[in-house]
Structure 1
Amino acid sequence: MSALAGALPGAAPVARARPGRLAALIPLAAAFAAVGLVAVTGTTQRSLDAAGLSQWAYGFFADRYPLFFPAIAYGVARAAALPLAAPHWRGWLGASLGLALVTGLSLHPTYGGLVLRAGFSVGGVAFLSGQPMAVAQGLGAVAAASVLGGALGFAALLARGLPRRGGWGRALVRALLRFAALAWALGVLAAARDLGLSGFPRLALSGGQAALALGLVLAAFLPHVILDLVRPRASVESTPGRR
């Protein structure tokens, strides 16, 4: 079978493409699983406090942005899946660094980390300077995406290396599209409280709120996932070249 697969045109590229497509779906599944786990276990601030996690259960950002935790799960899973697309020592190194950066920037010193603090600071300053609320929220999402996306992008660059010669333009366009999709995702999740999750995490998610949270997660991250699923043909079928 292996000899036949090697003789068929395109068989090897298709096989190489599967890990990349699988890696694109894992982060979305992790974000869904995070919401499902919180809903099934009835997680609240009190239960987190009882588990010794009060540092990440209370505070302004926990109350104002209750649906940021699926973004943490998405980022952690995306970093952890790097060895699937880059199965060598650089992939594992990028994954390790990505995990450290995503968790540190999202949870230190408390829930939200530098990601939410950057977004709130930029959005707040923009609003106080007279910008409309929608513009201020958009700028805040861009700032938050700069921090989280920077961590993920640096880890991916370390794992996969620089683009091939002549591929810098395409790589830059795809990076900008991914950044825009991540900013969209964080903007959608930031609106969760206003869209019906105002009681969480003081109270457990109800069935309706859990369904709403899953829908928001899907709407938030689907564009980012699609960008990974729709890969340029040349990036899959071409052989590694000199950089």
Structure 2
Amino acid sequence: MRGTRAILAGVPLAAALLAVLAVAVTGLSQRSALPPALEPYAYGFFLDRYPLFAFALVYGLARILAAAAMPGPASPARRVVFAGLGLVLLLAAALHPTFGGLVLRGGFMAGGSAFLTGQPIGLAYAIGAAVAALVFGLAIGLPSWLGRAQVRRAGFWRRARGLAATATLSFLALWLAAALIGLGRDLGIGPWPRRTFTPEEALRAALVLLVAGLPHTLVIAFRSVGPAPAGRDRLPLGMPLPAR
């Protein structure tokens, strides 16, 4: 099961990197013909300023699906329901009303407000990245946890501490990822999506995404998994405990 968890933990990062490859190979850009329903999301300030967030969104969607497939006693129906809710929540947070959604708008507003109150540009940028990471992390983490969480009578505080540690490490990893993704233009990924990626720009974009996404992938892959209590000590979430 640990091996399966490690493999599934790496799938979202692989999906984001494959998305970069697909965009580079197909020459997808704003000059490409797009369905009318997708055109509003192919333009705008946030896509032009933070283009790598498009691939971060692929990472987030794949992360929700991978979490639903993780080994565990949760029923298939429960996994499907909460995975579906997670996908809808993330898409809404990232694309409503247009590209960037609440994730990038929240981060941009927080960072801009901090800068306007006299904070150094570096600190303001870090604050904006933290807000974006928090919104993104809640959108992918909360539905994933609800889809697999259990109520157990034994070891509650130990599991609570483990959950808090994992959540903290995940947030810090996403904070770093948000900061790096926001610097994509400065790191030489080129003007995509105004034009197609060149091979060098696609490689740079893939490297930025790899460095940005690897810490969170490692947190998910190697977080501690305690032994599952047997029998009456483990009950699905929401099921009342039997009277003794």
Which TM-score band (shorter chain)? 0.7 to 0.9
The letter of the residue matching 1:230 is F
Shift of 1:163: 6.8
Shift of 1:47: 1.0
Instruction: Give the number of the structure whose residues are more often helix, by fraction.
Output: 1
Whether 1:227 and 2:212 are equivalent positions in the alignment is no
Structure 1 residue matching 2:187: 3-state secondary structure: helix
Whether 1:172 and 2:156 are equivalent positions in the alignment is no
User: What is the alpha-carbon distance in structure 1 between the residues aligned to residue 183 and residue 86 of structure 2?
Assistant: 26
Q: Is the 8 Å Cα contact of residues 90 and 159 (structure 1) preserved in structure 2? A: yes
Whether 1:106 and 2:94 are equivalent positions in the alignment is yes
Give the structure 2 partner of residue 8 of structure 1.
none
User: What is the alpha-carbon distance in structure 2 between the residues aligned to residue 142 and residue 17 of structure 1?
Assistant: 30
Whether 1:29 and 2:14 are equivalent positions in the alignment is yes
Comparing 143-152 with 157-166, greater Cα deviation is found at 157-166
**For residues 117 and 145 of structure 1, do their structure 2 counterparts lie closer, same or farther at Cα, with a shift above 3 Å needed?**
same
- Please give the residue correspondences for 1:28-177 in structure 2 after superposition, counting only pairs within 5 Å: 28-47=13-32, 50-52=34-36, 53-85=38-70, 86=72, 88=75, 89-162=77-150, 164=152, 165-166=156-157, 167-177=159-169
Whether 1:186 and 2:174 are equivalent positions in the alignment is no
Comparing 16-25 with 37-46, greater Cα deviation is found at 16-25
User: What is the alpha-carbon distance in structure 2 between the residues aligned to residue 163 and residue 27 of structure 1?
Assistant: 28
The letter of the residue matching 1:147 is V
User: What is the alpha-carbon distance in structure 2 between the residues aligned to residue 174 and residue 231 of structure 1?
Assistant: 7
User: What is the alpha-carbon distance in structure 1 between the residues aligned to residue 198 and residue 49 of structure 2?
Assistant: 18
Give the structure 1 partner of residue 196 of structure 2.
204
Structure 2 residue matching 1:196: 3-state secondary structure: coil
Comparing 203-212 with 190-199, greater Cα deviation is found at 190-199
Q: Is the 8 Å Cα contact of residues 197 and 209 (structure 1) preserved in structure 2? A: yes
Q: Is the 8 Å Cα contact of residues 82 and 147 (structure 2) preserved in structure 1? A: yes
Shift of 1:135: 0.9
| Identity value in percent | 41
Shift of 1:117: 0.4
Shift of 1:109: 1.2
**For residues 114 and 170 of structure 1, do their structure 2 counterparts lie closer, same or farther at Cα, with a shift above 3 Å needed?**
same
The letter of the residue matching 1:51 is P
CA deviation string 1:195-241 (max 9, x = no partner): 11341111111111000000000100100011112132xx2533364
Shift of 1:17: 2.1
Structure 1 residue matching 2:223: 3-state secondary structure: coil
Relative to the length of structure 1, the TM-score reads 0.87
Q: Is the 8 Å Cα contact of residues 178 and 227 (structure 1) preserved in structure 2? A: yes
Shift of 1:162: 4.9
**For residues 162 and 134 of structure 1, do their structure 2 counterparts lie closer, same or farther at Cα, with a shift above 3 Å needed?**
farther
Structure 1 unaligned residues grouped into runs of 5+: 1-15
Q: Is the 8 Å Cα contact of residues 93 and 158 (structure 1) preserved in structure 2? A: no
The letter of the residue matching 2:85 is L
**For residues 163 and 152 of structure 1, do their structure 2 counterparts lie closer, same or farther at Cα, with a shift above 3 Å needed?**
farther
Structure 2 residue matching 1:197: 3-state secondary structure: coil
Structure 2 unaligned residues grouped into runs of 5+: 236-244
